[in-house]
Amino acid sequence: MAKKSFTVINGPNLNLLGTREPDVYGSETLDDIKKQTTDRLKEFDVEIEWFQSNIEGEIVEKIQQISSSKIDALIINPAAYSHTSVAILDALKMLSIPVVEVHLSNTHHREEFRSTKLTAKASTIIMEGLGSNAYYMGIKSQLI
Ligand code: DQA
């Protein structure tokens, strides 16, 4: 199988994983998740770029860059922007590659407003409630 390239985008407050609501999001930091995901994919020929921002416009710009790059799929946890951002939805709609939306928590078991996901309209697959496994499984879903 030829080498595959992925970008993983993480939205606001995910830079604070590990200390942020550990009862909901677990105790692993974003760096822990990156390392575990990369280690678990060692047997595959993959290249993964990780990007995190707390700023909506930076996420839009990153998605725009991806639309002119040659990656195989985008894995995105838009975090709270999933529930509010038409701008991120519109940017995702411009992509012609698979978009795997991930959420660490099962948002349907939480506050009502988290059940609305604007960005999901542009997502090929949505994985939620799997904790940090979602990143590994999201990438793996594009390798089978
Ligand atoms: C989240 C769920 C969102 O509702 C929340 O705003 C987040 C994280 C998750 O990974 O479970 O920041 O996307």
Q: For 120-131, what is each residue's pLDDT tens digit?
A: 999 999 999 999
1 has pLDDT over 90: no
Mean pLDDT of all residues in 58-69: 95
- The whole-angstrom distance between residue 17's C-alpha and the CA centroid of its chain comes to 14
Phi, psi of 45 (to 5 degrees): -90, 85
Q: What pLDDT, on the 0 to 100 scale, is given for residue 65?
A: 97
Mean pLDDT, rounded, for 36-51: 97
Superfamily of domain 4-140: Dehydroquinase, class II (3.40.50.9100)
Q: What pLDDT shows up at residue 92? A: 98
The residue annotated as part of the active site, out of 25, 81, 135, 136, is: 25
Mean pLDDT over 29-41 rounds to 98
- Cα R_g (the chain), whole angstroms: 14
Average pLDDT, the chain: 97
pTM above 0.75, yes or no: yes
Query: How does residue 32 score in pLDDT terms, banded at 50, 70 and 90?
Result: very high
Q: Which residue has the tokens 């995702």?
A: 92
Of ligand 1's atoms, which has the minimum distance to the CA of residue 79? 13
- Closest ligand 1 atom to 14 CA: 12
Angle, helices 56-67 vs 86-93, to 10°: value is 0
Q: Which residues line ligand 1 (CB under 6 A)?
A: 13, 77, 79-80, 82, 103-105, 107, 114
Pocket test for ligand 1, best of 77, 112, 123, 133 (most atoms within 8 A of CB): 77
Q: Which tokens hold the place of 52?
A: 């995190």
Question: Closest by alpha carbon to 135, among 8, 2, 1?
Answer: 8
Tell me, yes or no, if 136 is annotated catalytic. no
Nearest residue by C-alpha to atom 7 in ligand 1 = 79
Q: In this predicted model, what pLDDT tens digit does every residue of 75-118 receive, in sequence order? A: 999 999 999 999 999 999 999 999 999 999 999 999 999 999 99
Our answer to whether residue 81 is catalytic in this structure is no
| Nearest residue by C-alpha to atom 2 in ligand 1 | 79
* DSSP secondary structure of 20-37: S-HHHH-S--HHHHHHHH
Which three-class secondary structure state does DSSP give residue 117?
Answer: coil
Asked if 9 contacts 76 with a C-beta cutoff of 8 angstroms, the reply is yes
- For 9-28, what is each residue's pLDDT tens digit? 999 999 999 999 999 999 99
pLDDT at 144: 87
